[in-house]
Amino acid sequence: MKNKTKHPVKTAAELDRQADLHLAFQYGQDSITDINPLRVKLDFYDKFGGDIEAEAEYDKGVKLEIAKKEAKIKNKSNLS
- pLDDT per residue, tens digit, the chain (80 aa), is 565 667 789 999 999 999 999 999 999 999 999 999 999 999 999 999 999 999 999 999 999 999 999 998 888 777 76
| Amino acid of residue 7 | H
Range of the domain at 42: 25-79
Residue 34 lies in a domain: yes
**At 51, phi and psi to the nearest 5?**
-90, 100
Residue 19 lies in a domain: no
pLDDT at site 30: 98
For the chain, the domain total comes to 1
**Alpha-helical segments (H) within 1-80:** 12-33, 37-48, 52-79
